Amino acid sequence: MNDVIVKIQNLSHRYNVQWAVKDLHFEIPSKGVYGLLGSNGAGKSTTMNIMSGVLKQTHGSVYINGIDLAKKPIEAKKHIGFLPQHPPLYLDTTIEEYLTNCAYLRRIDDKNVKEAVEKVMEKCAILHFRKRLIGNLSGGYKQRVGIAQAIIHNPKFVVLDEPTNGLDPNQIIEIRKLVKEIAEDRAVLFSTHMLTEVHAVCDYIFMIEQGKLVFSGKTEEFDNYLAPNSVFVRLLDMPSIDDLMKIEGVENVEELGPTEYRLKFSNVNGAIERVVQASVKNNWRLDEIFTEKSSLNEVFSALSKN
């Protein structure tokens, strides 16, 4: 990966005698959305807390923009924005008051505070609610305020811990759009255990299970991690299930509709050709055929068992 903003080396952490993460290695480039995927208890939160400077690791190193986070935490944290799963909001302040306070906490120069607050409110589409108490906002707008505090100091690396969790479908779509916009000029680490969120938002995926990195690759590579083993067919002159089972390599036949079937193969290589030949021979009038991808859930399940 070019233009690396985050570098993780031999990262390990344990609570008492149990290791939460063990020997993690990965790098994150300077732009894009990078999914941190894993089931509950896999080690995602520990990894994010360490990368955000909230927790100090037992072993290993985290470099943010080339700065060792453990040795120079204040310098490194200037480049980090963090939104925990539960946004650190003061519900009895207005959006403007809260973000102004965040700007000072982030050591933005006094003369630049007002401009920084204005820009981040506009970026997160909360400018029109600037005088509204945060406690009176909807879940989606509270999340926008949480994201605003994470990027007010224009960090190069932003960590978002399950930012769409608990939101309604419309709010989820809006937050996804905002995350993608933020990632146009910086790196965003997007933590989730929801596969639909990974597919909708992320360019690249790191998957952690039992504290270890079990997958690192582009989203398309994640989709194609498992070799497909089924073929969808539409046959206008319906054969019997027994006839379809006679095709070489077919292990199971699933009826999907009046003329549609899913054929499970022991080996999908050459399967389409064999189905076409059987259709021509028996005059089944083949109308459509294609190899199906493995589902995201199947990939997740397979990787979780590694």
267 or 63, greater pLDDT: 63
Mean pLDDT (the chain, rounded):
91
Range(s) of the domain holding residue 242: 230-304
Q: Would the pLDDT of 302 be above 80? A: no
Residues 206 and 97 in one domain: yes
Q: Would the pLDDT of 1 be above 60? A: no
Q: Would the pLDDT of 296 be above 70? A: no
Distance CA(164)–CA(20), nearest Å, equals 24
Residues 83 and 174 in one domain: yes
Domains contained in the chain, number = 2
Question: What is the pLDDT at residue 10?
Answer: 95
Phi-psi region of 265 (alpha: psi -120 to 50; beta: other; left: phi over 0): beta
For the stretch 16-43, pLDDT in tens is 888 999 999 999 999 999 999 888 888 9
Percentage of the chain beyond pLDDT 90 is 70
121 CB contacts (<8 Å, ≥6 apart)? Answer: 95, 96, 99, 127, 130, 148
Residues 212 and 277 in one domain: no
Instruction: Answer whether 149's CB lies under 8 Å from 118's CB.
Output: no
Residues 187 and 244 in one domain: no
Domain limit, last residue, from 223, 252, 287:
223
Residues 216 and 235 in one domain: no
pTM, two decimal places? 0.77
174 CB contacts (<8 Å, ≥6 apart)? Answer: 140
Residues 125 and 82 in one domain: yes
CATH number of the domain enclosing 244? 3.30.70
Residues 255 and 197 in one domain: no
Only one residue has tokens 């073929």, namely 231
Residues 251 and 111 in one domain: no
Q: Would the pLDDT of 226 be above 60? A: no
Each as own residue / partner, the long-range contacts of residues 200-206 (CB below 8 Å, 24 or more positions apart, any chain) are 200/176, 201/33, 201/35, 201/176, 202/33, 202/34, 202/35, 203/32, 203/33, 203/34, 204/32, 204/33, 204/34, 204/35, 205/34, 205/35, 205/37, 206/26, 206/34, 206/35, 206/36, 206/37
- Report the amino acid identity of residue 221: E
Residues 71 and 24 in one domain: yes
Question: What is the pLDDT at residue 297?
Answer: 66
* Structure token digits, residue 249: 């390599």
Distance CA(244)–CA(278), nearest Å, equals 9
303 or 231, greater pLDDT: 231
Q: Would the pLDDT of 9 be above 50? A: yes
Domain limit, last residue, from 207, 223, 239:
223
For the stretch 212-222, pLDDT in tens is 998 999 988 87
Domain limit, last residue, from 170, 196, 223:
223
Residues 30 and 128 in one domain: yes
Residues 150 and 248 in one domain: no
Q: How far is CA 110 from the centre of its chain?
A: 36
CATH number of the domain enclosing 106? 3.40.50.300
For the stretch 76-135, pLDDT in tens is 999 999 999 888 999 999 999 999 999 999 999 999 999 999 999 999 999 999 999 999
Q: Would the pLDDT of 2 be above 70? A: no
Distance CA(50)–CA(11), nearest Å, equals 9
For the stretch 190-207, pLDDT in tens is 998 777 888 889 999 999
Residues 262 and 216 in one domain: no
Residue 42, exposed/middle/buried by CB under 10 A (0-12, 13-18, 19+)?
buried
- Report the amino acid identity of residue 58: T
